[in-house]
Amino acid sequence: MKKKILRKLPSVNVLINTEEGKQLIENYNRDSVVNAARTVLDELRSEILKKETISFEEKNLSVVSIIKRIQSHLQKKFTPSLQKAINATGIILHTGLGRAMLSKEAINAINNAIEGYCTLAADIETGRRGHRDVHLNSLLCELTGAEAATVVNNNAAATVLILNTLAKGKEVIVSRGQLVEIGGSFRMPEVMETSGAILKEIGTTNKTHLKDYSAAISENTGAIMRVHHSNYRIVGFAEEPPIEDVVKLGKEHNILVIDDLGSGALVDLKEFGLETEPMVQKSIKAGADVACFSGDKLIGGPQSGVIVGKSAVIEKIRKNPLARAFRVGKITIAAMEATLRLFFNPEKLTLSHPSYKMFSYSSKELEKRAQQIAKKLREVITDEADIQIIDGESQVGSGSAPIETLPTKLLKVKPSILSAENFAKKLRSNIIPIFTRVHKESVLFDFRTIRPKEDASVLEALLSLLKGKEIQS
């Protein structure tokens, strides 16, 4: 019986010579359509052979039905996997969703740089080849107080480059409480090994004293390094010497001091009701020889790693062959330059900078938007879901202020027609994927990270799922 069903399947040739098949060839290309047809027919054969019963709906074997499957296969194949998404999680710097959102100024700068040629590494004055650091050097120096700066493709690269340049084959003193592991298996001991430097652990997990640093110094010491705890905090019976004391010790022994600041705060987060993150300016003022930090966390620019410090040290780093391997291109430089300029006007920072705008939203503002969506849902929704506005907390994310949260208001949707997990999955399959939080069989929407212009898309997706036919699938 199954052989009889299999014989009803049309051939690839029949499929591609239909009007619909010819249209697909015109839209894509012959080879892609042929390959897609073979794939779909193979899938159908497997489905038929795997069926426990011999019944198989005739409509699934029709040319029209198979052509639709081929079209769906091609659409999925040729649709970019990197898509725009709506972040309803309340995590502002969401690593999985691209971390910081770029400002309009940064987007415009990118468009300006890529629509034609640009002065990436060309000296306008002489007409000769220049250095791409020129676009960001003066801005970073003015903002941080450093003598010189360079930018690489992320902070992990910055750390490796600094250690490889300044301490290859030498010991680098680091407190045990700072031997962090960050997402993606970025572990400080392994990073140290990769760079060619030798890790010298001191102190204990919760307490490291200045005398521990002093006792560890030897003829083979290449540098002292302080590492930001990033995504965790040691609280209670804990102590670490301030950067000023570490720098003073380094100078007494003529040893370089490296400060890995992680998130890279240029403004005090206390202004937004958050715990203060290590300020780049403070580290440079204290006298650190070199500091590094992310460009796509609290700075809110594109993925990058920023290195600032003494001119002589930065010049050595620039000359390292790895610097070319880690360097950034015109898109990153354009976006970073525009982003850094926003910090010169603190009064307008919350108006222009997406991350700081999200930091500054009050619960009252967020509740108003959530209530508007809830009201429109309740006008249509009856038994399909329970709709409520509840108190909640937003997070900074990406290892920044890990134990700090911002009070927020959440739209809580508890669907009655399917599980919260399945409902969240369907939201992620929306035309514009919507990422939410799931808690106690409810789906939560935090409007701190949903842009106001996205409210309509969220409402449309909810109505479509709760009242549409798709929800039954």
Q: Are residues 344 and 363 in the same domain?
A: no
| Pairing state between β 198-202 and 385-397 | unpaired
Q: Are residues 237 and 288 in the same domain?
A: yes
Domain assignment of residue 99, yes or no: no
Q: Are residues 135 and 90 in the same domain?
A: no
Q: Residue 214 has which token pair?
A: 């002093």
Range of the domain at 25: 2-78
Task: Report how far residue 324's alpha carbon sits from residue 48's, in angstroms, rounded to the nearest whole number.
Answer: 55
Domain assignment of residue 264, yes or no: yes
Domain assignment of residue 116, yes or no: yes
Q: Are residues 179 and 280 in the same domain?
A: yes
Q: Are residues 272 and 165 in the same domain?
A: yes
Last residue of a domain, one of 325, 352, 379: 352
Last residue of a domain, one of 352, 376, 405: 352
Last residue of a domain, one of 320, 352, 384: 352
Domain assignment of residue 397, yes or no: yes
Q: Are residues 287 and 364 in the same domain?
A: no
**What pLDDT sits at residue 456?**
96
Residue closest to 165 by CA, chosen among 337, 289, 323, 360? 323
Sheet of 221-227: strand order equals: 148-152, 305-309, 290-294, 256-262, 221-227, 171-175, 198-202
**What pLDDT sits at residue 1?**
67
**What pLDDT sits at residue 473?**
37
Domain assignment of residue 277, yes or no: yes
Q: Are residues 303 and 373 in the same domain?
A: no
Q: Are residues 189 and 132 in the same domain?
A: yes
Domain assignment of residue 303, yes or no: yes
Residue with tokens 């003494």: 310
**pLDDT tens for the chain, residues 1 to 473:** 677 778 888 899 999 999 999 999 999 999 999 999 999 999 988 888 876 655 556 667 789 999 999 999 999 899 888 999 999 999 999 999 999 999 999 999 999 999 999 999 998 889 999 899 999 999 999 999 999 999 999 999 999 999 999 999 999 999 998 888 776 667 888 888 999 999 999 999 889 999 999 999 999 999 999 998 876 677 777 788 999 999 999 999 999 999 999 888 999 998 898 888 889 999 999 999 999 999 999 999 999 999 999 999 999 999 999 999 999 999 999 999 999 999 999 888 999 999 999 999 999 999 999 999 999 999 998 889 999 999 999 999 877 766 678 999 999 999 998 899 999 999 999 999 999 999 999 999 999 999 999 999 999 999 999 987 444 43
> How far is the CA of 241 from the CAs of 245, 248, 280, 442, in angstroms?
6, 11, 17, 45
Q: Are residues 264 and 406 in the same domain?
A: no
Q: Are residues 383 and 461 in the same domain?
A: yes
Q: Are residues 333 and 206 in the same domain?
A: yes
Number of domains in the chain: 3
Domain assignment of residue 186, yes or no: yes
How many Cα neighbours within 13 Å face the side chain of 220? 8
**What pLDDT sits at residue 46?**
87
Task: Report how far residue 76's alpha carbon sits from residue 90's, in angstroms, rounded to the nearest whole number.
Answer: 29
Burial of 261 (0-12, 13-18, 19+ CB in 10 A): buried
Q: Are residues 402 and 304 in the same domain?
A: no
> Which CATH number characterizes residue 437's domain?
3.90.1150.180
Domain assignment of residue 273, yes or no: yes
